[in-house]
Amino acid sequence: MPELEQQPRVPMTRRYLMCPPRYFAVDYVINPWMDPSVPVSVDTATAQWTELRDTYRRLGHTVEEIEAQPGLPDMVFAANSGTVVDGRVLGSRFRAPQRTAEAEHFRRWFVEHGYRDITMPEKINEAEGDFAWTGKVLLAGTGFRTDPAAHAEAQEVLGVPVVSLRLIDPSYYHLDTALFVLAEATDTTSAQIAYYADAFSAGSRKVLERMFPDAVIADRADAECFGLNGVSDGRNVVLPVEATGLAARLTERGYEVLFVDISELRKAGGGPKCCTLEIRK
Ligand code: ARG
């Protein structure tokens, strides 16, 4: 164990796609975090989002921006709109009718930016909200949003092995609210993840224990502030400012933690990762 913890953590430069929260609002309810009676501020959301974007840029990552669209308040959660592995793009298909139109704006962005291998899914697929790439396999969540049949579809379209995981707590309705990849690796045993076990079915917990015996196990406090919605480049981990317990555990394992305030975006049920779609080549 101690050898694992002393491993040098190597950052990998990333390319992200983000959407400014120009039309951010909470005027419908599609997850338990959303309460339209609680006021939200576009200015506060924008300041928090800008700080997140600038944090990535300070780390040396590239951040592309897609134009926000009126009437699509959740478009800021770019992670839900595409899964890109090796330059191959699998678009999204939303469960909620309020978000359906977002998928086409992102598809067009990929077309306009030179992507030729783009597939729009037939099954409900909320992209990186429910898909996490470990470097070798795609971990895939289901239970609330993404259809389990979309897992097979992703495997066929992206040509990568997909491991299905079942979410059981409505507060953690997307995989990226309960699990994230800290360090990718081309063999599954050495990729490192953090997760909140109570969000998963008993069988899925066993799968995670088997695949990731040295995972960072998060507790309820870590999960409740969207700590599992972190973004790691392999060394630097961006976390919500409240996730101090998780941060301490990550620091022990050799990661550098950077905090951001995402309190305004959390009112819609999102955090740092939800705002961040990763473009892998
Ligand atoms: N209000 C949005 C929804 O419920 C939040 C999406 C958060 N995105 C994510 N990747 N978890 O769809």
Give the mean pLDDT per block of 10 residues along the chain (281 residues): 64 98 98 98 98 98 98 98 98 98 98 98 98 97 98 98 98 98 83 98 98 96 98 98 98 98 98 98 89
Q: What pLDDT, on a 0 to 100 scale, did the predictor assign at position 8? A: 84
Q: Are 208 and 195 in contact (CB under 8 A)?
A: yes
Q: How far apart are the first and last CA of the chain?
A: 34
Q: What pLDDT, on a 0 to 100 scale, did the predictor assign at position 188? A: 59
CA distance 68 to 22: 6
Q: Report the residue among 126, 144, 174 best suited for mutation to probe ligand 1: largest number of ligand atoms under 8 A from its CB.
A: 174
Give how far Cα 175 sits from Cα of 10, 141, 164, 186, Å: 25, 5, 10, 21
3-class state of residue 116 by DSSP: coil
Q: What pLDDT, on a 0 to 100 scale, did the predictor assign at position 189? A: 57
Number of residues written out for the chain: 281
Active centre residues (catalytic): 174, 274
**Per-residue b/e over 58-77, b at no fewer than 16 CB within 10 Å?**
ebebebeebebeeebbbbbb
Q: What pLDDT, on a 0 to 100 scale, did the predictor assign at position 187? A: 72
CA distance 51 to 180: 21
What is the Å distance from ligand 1's center to 19 Cα?
13
Q: Domains along the chain? A: 10-278 (3.75.10.10)
Q: Report the residue among 130, 172, 274, 276 best suited for mutation to probe ligand 1: largest number of ligand atoms under 8 A from its CB.
A: 274
What is the Å distance from ligand 1's center to 100 Cα?
13
What is the Å distance from ligand 1's center to 78 Cα?
9
Sequence-distant (6+) residues with CB within 8 A of 58 are none
Report which protein residue has its CA nearest ligand 1's atom 7: 270
Sequence-distant (6+) residues with CB within 8 A of 46 are 20, 21, 22, 24
Q: Which of 271, 276, 273, 167 is nearest to 224 (CA)?
A: 271
Q: Report the residue among 18, 34, 74, 125 best suited for mutation to probe ligand 1: largest number of ligand atoms under 8 A from its CB.
A: 74
Q: Which atom of ligand 1 is nearest to the CA of 30?
A: 4
Task: Name residues contacting ligand 1 (CB within 6 A).
Answer: 30-31, 34, 74, 77, 79-80, 99, 129, 174, 176-177, 268-270, 274
Q: Are 129 and 145 in contact (CB under 8 A)?
A: yes
Report which protein residue has its CA nearest ligand 1's atom 9: 274
DSSP letter for each residue of 157-181: HH-S-EEEEEB--GGG-SGGGTEEE
Q: What pLDDT, on a 0 to 100 scale, did the predictor assign at position 1? A: 47
Alpha carbon 228 to chain centroid distance? 9
What is the Å distance from ligand 1's center to 274 Cα?
6
CA distance 175 to 159: 20
Q: What pLDDT, on a 0 to 100 scale, did the predictor assign at position 122? A: 98
Q: Which amino acid is at 242?
A: E
